[in-house]
């Protein structure tokens, strides 16, 4: 999955649920905040599906279980 698609998917779901969404560029990663949950994403063009799923699971507490399906 493309990195931009991962961010776009998170942004769309946060907007749909009316939550705050913020992207912060850090030294080697991109910090993404949805509501009160913050996580980092490496700066690679392609993110393998397992990593993308684990990244999405980090936001399950604020977006709901299985929101990415």
Domains identified in the chain and CATH numbers: 3-63 (3.30.160)
Q: Mean per-residue pLDDT for 57-62?
A: 96
Cα–Cα distance measured from residue 44 to residue 30, given in angstroms and rounded to the nearest whole number: 10
Tokens of 19: 């939550």
Helix, strand or coil, per DSSP, at residue 50: helix
pTM of the model: 0.90
**Mean pLDDT across the stretch 16-25?**
97
- Mean pLDDT, to the nearest integer, of 2-14? 96
Note whether 11 and 30 are within 8 A (CB): no
Average pLDDT of the segment spanning 7-33:
96
Average pLDDT, the chain: 95
What CA–CA distance (Å, rounded) separates 6 from 17? 17
d(CA 59, CA 45): 21
């Amino acid at each position: 999955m493309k990195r931009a698609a991962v961010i776009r998917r998170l942004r769309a779901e946060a907007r749909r649920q009316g939550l705050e969404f913020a992207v912060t560029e850090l030294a080697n990663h991109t910090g993404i905040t949805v509501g009160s949950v913050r996580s980092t994403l490496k700066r690679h063009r392609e993110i393998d599906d397992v990593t993308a799923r684990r990244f999405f699971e980090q936001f399950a507490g604020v977006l709901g279980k299985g929101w990415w399906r």
